Amino acid sequence: MEKQPLGCFFFIVFLAKNWIMAIIAPSLLAADFGNLKQDCHMVNESEADWFHLDVMDGVFVPNISFGMPVIKCIQEYAKKPLDIHLMIVEPDRYLETFSALGANVITVHYEACIHLHRTLEAIKSLGVKAGVALNPHTPIEHLEPLIEIIDLVCIMSVNPGFGGQSFIPKTYDRILDLRELIDKKDSSALIEIDGGVTDQNAKHLVTSGATVLVAGNHVFKAKDPQATIAQLKAI
């Protein structure tokens, strides 16, 4: 499977880093899997920038989502970059597989990686952007030794495992702390927020320093998902 062109990916990232716009990544965890092609088409036709795919194994988090066969279908439908978030144990075992399925970004959890530096280097060796996700209880400063080689930090603003949870307000402070670390180390890492993102908190998230907003139920359960995405994009 071919990945989506990275030229557009880098252009979007450039704009996000320069505070012109936020990257909007609808989470397909909230999509209608009985009409997956239709929902993928909606994202393609919308102002969204990425597809966000949450892979859960029922071990690292108390839920099972979808795996390779579903992602293969999504990759065939998607016309925008795939942002794959691995909420799984031993993610290193599957990096090549997800890269082959068209991943533009692969994000692993800090809490799931014994040798995080090795994992990040393995992702980069595949020609894929490397992300690290932090659960709500994990201190931001744990990333200081590696922040220069991280392309994206995903701050979980809910406890991972289920969609539709309430946003954790402490996230704003964590974004500010992460932005300070990124600037201190002259890192180019994007800040992604995953969990409870809506039009009610999106502006505060972006002004705090977030550059990528993941939205699931807020988009796919809306009466007009495309209009909802446009509203988030305009913030």
**Residues with active-site annotation:** 54, 194
Q: Classify residue 200 by its DSSP letter.
A: T
DSSP letters along 114-177, please? SSHHHHHHHHHHTT-EEEEEE-TTS-GGGGTTTGGG-SEEEEESS-TT-SSPPP-TTHHHHHHH
CA atoms of 103 and 140, how far apart (whole Å): 25
CB 50 within 8 A of CB 215: no
Helix (H, G, I), strand (E, B) or coil at 46: coil
Query: Looking at the DSSP assignment, which residues form a beta bridge with residue 235?
Result: none
Q: Give the residue among 69, 61, 117 at the shortest CA–CA distance from 85.
A: 61
Q: Give the residue among 140, 79, 90 at the shortest CA–CA distance from 114.
A: 90
